[in-house]
Amino acid sequence: MKNVAVVVAGGSGTRMGQDIPKQFINVFDKPVLIYTLESFQRHPDVDAIAVVCIDGWQTMVDAYAKQFNIDKLQWIVPGGGSVQESIRNGVEHLEHELDPEDIVIIHDGIRPLIDADVLTDVIQVCERYGNAVTSLPYNEQIFVINQDDPSTTVQYVPREQLRRVSTPQAYRYGKLLAAYRKAFKGEHRHPRFQLHQHHDGRFRRNPAFRQRFGQEHQAHHQRRSGIVQGLHHGG
Tens digit of each residue's pLDDT (9 = 90 or more) over 174-190? 999 999 999 988 665 54
Average pLDDT over residues 217-230: 44
Mean per-residue pLDDT for 26-35?
A: 94
Predicted local confidence at residue 95, as pLDDT:
96
Across 2-15, b (16+ Cβ under 10 Å) vs e yields: ebbbbbbbbbebee
Q: Is 29 left (phi over 0), alpha (psi -120 to 50) or beta?
A: left
User: Quick check: bond before 150 cis, omega within 30?
Assistant: no
State the average pLDDT over residues 108-115: 94
pLDDT, greater one: 117 or 190: 117
Looking at residue 88, what is its pLDDT?
95
SS3 172: strand
Give CA angle at 122 (121, 127), nearest 5°: 95
Query: CB under 8 Å to 12, separation ≥6 — which residues?
Result: 21, 54
Spell out where the chain has E strands.
Answer: 3-9, 48-53, 73-78, 103-108, 131-137, 142-145, 153-157, 163-172, 195-197, 203-205
Distance CA 158, CA 149 (A): 22
Q: Is the pLDDT of residue 6 over 70?
A: yes
How far is Cα 22 from Cα 33, in angstroms, rounded to an integer?
9
In this predicted model, what pLDDT tens digit does every residue of 190-204 receive, in sequence order? 443 344 443 344 444
Q: What is the pLDDT of residue 231?
A: 65
Mean pLDDT of 39-61: 95
Residue 112 pLDDT > 90: yes
pLDDT at residue number 227: 43
Distance CA 29, CA 35 (A): 11
pLDDT tops 60 at residue 221 = no
pLDDT, tens digit, for every residue of 82-101? 899 999 999 999 999 999 99
Q: What percent of the chain has pLDDT over 90?
A: 63
Q: Mean of the pLDDT values across residues 134-163?
A: 92
Res 146: pLDDT: 95
Which of 232, 234, 98 has the alpha carbon at shortest distance from 170? 232
Q: With a cut of 90, say whether residue 62 has pLDDT above it.
A: yes
Using CA atoms, how far apart are residues 98 and 60, in angstroms rounded to an integer? Answer: 26
Residue 209 has pLDDT above 50, yes or no: no
**Is residue 212 very low, low, confident or very high in pLDDT (cuts 50, 70, 90)?**
very low
